[in-house]
Amino acid sequence: MKFEHFALNVPDTLAMSLWYETHLGLSIIKKMDESPYMTFLADDSGTIMLEIYTNPKGETLDFNAFHPLAVHLALVSENPTADKDRLIREGATLFSDDILPDGSHLVMLRDPWGISLQLCKRAKPMLKST
């Protein structure tokens, strides 16, 4: 099996989608213009998608209540320090900035809606290059 997408019911799909497109470089694959505003965003490989929507039929989690180790979205970053600084200027907040013993650099942030984002520069990349 292969991942198609991971889905989150969020409080403001329209604003979050725009922020993720503008600041994380995700691309819209499919988008509903009416409620529940189901939006599929893909990374630059085009092989993994995040679905976000605002559907009152389901629970919207208080992402700030969860420790980032409980749930987070991890993104490959060639320069975690520069990306951290840029995202903080755009409304993200810093949780941690760590260099692991193997040399990997991991930065944990929260987006403006409280969802944890991990910026990863692995000493040895874990994903296949496309």
pTM attached to this predicted model: 0.93
For the stretch 1-44, pLDDT in tens is 988 999 999 999 999 999 999 999 999 999 999 999 999 999 98
**Counting Cβ atoms within 10 Å, is residue 9 exposed (0-12), middle (13-18) or buried (19+)?**
middle
**Cβ distance 53 to 40 under 8 Å?**
no
Walk me through the domains of the chain, giving residue ranges and CATH numbers: 1-55 (3.10.180.10), 68-130 (3.10.180.10)
